[in-house]
Amino acid sequence: MMMDYIKYVSDGKWFTCDIPSYWTAFKEDESTALFYDDDDWKGNLRITPNKFPGANLEVQINKIETHINDEFDHNNDAKKLLLGTKKAIHYLKYTGQDSDSVSIHWWLVRDVNILFLCSFAVDTSREKEDEVMKEFEFARQVLISLKAS
């Protein structure tokens, strides 16, 4: 079965992305967007765009690249990857204890002069369920479609 996606445009038009049509989009704060299945929660995707000040595009890109490299160096489990054509890193962190444990997949993604801090959070006890793994893959597809506006 093919997934239907819809175009999401962030408040302030910082970014666009394609999200599964059944996901709810929620504005968490001025720039952060939260996406999830409101009927059957299997995790949530959070996207926060960040602009780095700089006199020109090259300076901004260098600041973003430095930030991504620093984050990579400070997270032993981080992996460099491409999401579509965008450079990114990914790592996994766990928070909480026992039955309240949450697995958080973190991505830092650069598109042009915007650094996106993205996370997908899910109950650790459910992370290996087929439906949750599919939701994680949908989140990854959203990040591939992510574009700075």
Distances (CA, A) of 131 to 2, 32, 128, 147: 15, 25, 9, 27
Let me know: does 106 contact 45? Beta carbons within 8 Å: no
What is the residue extent of each domain of the chain? 27-148
By three-state DSSP, how is residue 96 classified?
coil
User: What average pLDDT is seen over the chain?
Assistant: 93
pLDDT tens for 26-55 read 998 888 999 999 999 999 999 999 988 777
Identify the CATH homologous superfamily for domain 27-148: Mog1/PsbP, alpha/beta/alpha sandwich (3.40.1000.10)
Distance between the two ends of the chain, CA-based, in angstroms?
Answer: 31
For the full predicted model, state whether its pTM sits above 0.75. yes
For residue 69, how many C-alpha atoms fall within 13 Å in the half-sphere facing its CB? 6
Residues of the chain with pLDDT under 50: none
